[in-house]
Amino acid sequence: MANTLRKRLGVVFGLLFVLFFAFGLMAACKDPEDETTTFTVTFLDGETVIAEREVEEGGTVASFTPADEGYEKEGFVFEGWFATADFTHDWSFDTAIERDTNVYSMWSSSKEDTRQWLIAGSSSAGGPLAAIGWNGGPIEGENGNILQKTEGKNEFTITIDLYVGDQFQFCIMDEDGVWNTDDSTGGGARGGQYLEANEYMSAPGTGLGDGQVNITVSVSGNYTLTLTTDAEDKNVGSITVVRNGDAPEVTVDRSDYTWYIYGNSAAETSAESVLAGTNWGANVNSLQYSAYEMFKISSNEPDGTGTWMQTWTLAEGDEFLLAYCLLKEEGGISAQDGTMFYYTEIDEFNGDEAAFKKADGMGSNIVVVEGGTYTFTLTVTLSDTGTLEGSIEVDKTSDILTSDNTWKVLGGRLTYAQATDPATGNLTIEEADYNGKTSVFADNNFGVGNTVQELTVITPAEGYVKEYEVTLELVEGDYFYLCIPVAVHAPYRADTYYTPAYTSKLAIAENLPEGIVSDWAWGNGGNLLCTKAGTYTFTVLVAEDGSLTLGVK
């Protein structure tokens, strides 16, 4: 009995041992990677589920169309599958599935798009887009901007010469050049979101819902551009590019280029801001010598390159850019496409807690954070592709005025006719007596001559950080001002002339002694005029904030 029991127990233990060994062996040989993970791929039309597929990790989905699932939309044609709901990224059935995934179907409406689409843009190379501009309105003719509709299709084409650096969009624009970008009211704009990948053009930052990103040309050529649209859904559509060949060479005459400040300000007076009352286009009769003009301080180059500078007072909230401007026939000024320089070109004084910031939205205009008087230096160069590039340096004018610098006297002498003219000199003196006197500025000629008087640095009066002084023997008709001069090279005159970069004209001298008057009375900008011969001492005092005080005794 006991032996039988032991035999039975031995058999049982033997079977358990075999099972245990076998199980342990199987457990030891099993590869953990054999465990599979599945993900769900959901195919959608908007929020409507067309189909779902369960796919093992790393696997793919077998190709199909909505029709294969019995899904149709009356009045619409299936155009493909996309990875995003706004159809900015394609999706392929070759995609390896690594997570739960939504795939979106794009459908085009059969409804006719009756809108008139236009191309708008800019060309610093001088191509057709330079004449078309961003707000030209519909333009007919060989270099027009109207896209032609393909009969029976929501397809619009235009063939046009484009050049490296050109930028453009397609848009709905009225005769006055005003854009309507709202598709729901018959408008629309089509930019980089819709551009199909190609080697000739690019659009950084694509994927924005409204698609209003400029397309930039990287290879010059004659192109046929095709825009497909959908009358129901602004996210449906594409821009395709065909390069037909080379574009004709274009030569742009930039020999008269001078840059100006162009912008808008809420300030009421020019003392607060040079942009007061401009609203993106000042009403002036001439841009030359206007308050908006920058002075070219490098030698003249026919290609428009060089260095320009100017000092302006700006108010908080001012918005502006620097551009080559022209007078408009109807009045005011307009900035020319391809010549505009923005916040991104400022080397300093921008960024966090600085004097300037980038305008809100997609633009890059310069916005004044801290009002004050600033000196701008713009250097314009040509890229390898012939487009204009700019670099803007900004200095706080007060920092320049309180640093070590040399003040000079720029002057000359009025003719006898000017001296006795009420509009200029208003002097009462005999002609022989007038012509018999020699001016201290005989060889000055407002800085162009061989003798230019300089002010001497002296110990500043209390409350000032700098003081400069000069004593001059003057005669009637001497006409001058005190300044830190710069040499100016103007396209509209052959000689080099000097202009005050920082000048005593910024300060109105009070309590002038007999014999010295300011021509502010005649509106000529603050030059000083001697009306009685004598010895006079002039001082320029600079406060810590850069404000000036002019003294005469």
Does 1 fall in a domain?
no
What's the confidence (pLDDT) of residue 400?
86
The answer to whether position 231 is within a domain reads yes
Q: Which domain holds residue 311?
A: 259-396
**CATH code for the domain in which residue 89 is found:** 2.60.40.4270
From 63, 81, 109, the end of a domain falls on 109
Write out residues in the chain with pLDDT < 70, as ranges: 1-34, 204-212, 350-353, 361-363, 503-510, 519-526
CB atoms inside a 10 Å sphere around CB 69 = 12
Sign of torsion, CA 458 462 465 468? negative
Residue 348: per-residue pLDDT: 75
Please report the sign of the dihedral spanned by the C-alpha atoms of residue 267, residue 268, residue 269, residue 275: positive
What's the pLDDT at 456? Answer: 95
Query: Could you tell me if residue 518 is inside a domain?
Result: yes
Same domain, 331 and 374: yes
Residues 416, 364 within the same domain: no
- Tell me if 14 is assigned to some domain: no
Regarding whether 168 and 131 lie in a shared domain, the answer is yes
Where a domain ends, among 371, 396, 421? 396
Long-range Cβ contact pairs of 75-84 (< 8 A, separation 24 or more): 75/109, 75/110, 75/111, 76/107, 76/108, 76/109, 76/110, 77/107, 77/108, 77/110, 78/105, 78/106, 78/107, 79/106, 79/107, 79/108, 79/236, 80/105, 80/106, 81/43, 81/105, 81/106, 82/106, 84/207
Domain termination residue (choose one: 245, 275, 304): 245
Same domain, 329 and 298: yes
pTM higher than 0.85: no
pLDDT at 402: 87
pLDDT at 23: 39
Instruction: Give per-residue pLDDT as tens, 125-150.
Output: 889 998 898 888 898 877 799 999 99
- Pair (319, 381) in one structural domain: yes
- Asked if residue 402 lies in contact with residue 468, where contact means CB atoms within 8 angstroms, the answer is no
The total number of structural domains in the chain stands at 4
Q: Could you tell me if 142 and 61 lie in one domain?
A: no
Task: State the pLDDT at residue 66.
Answer: 95
- Does residue 23 lie within any of the structural domains? no
Same domain, 407 and 547: yes
Residue 9 lies in a domain: no
Distances (CA, A) of 479 to 23, 446, 549: 112, 9, 19
Which of 473, 478, 472, 477 shows the shortest CA–CA distance to 426? Answer: 477
Q: Are residues 187 and 71 in the same domain?
A: no
Six-digit token string for 95: 């995609």
pLDDT of residue 427: 92
pLDDT at 211 (0 to 100):
53
My answer on whether 380 and 410 are in the same domain is no
Shared domain check, 307 and 289? yes
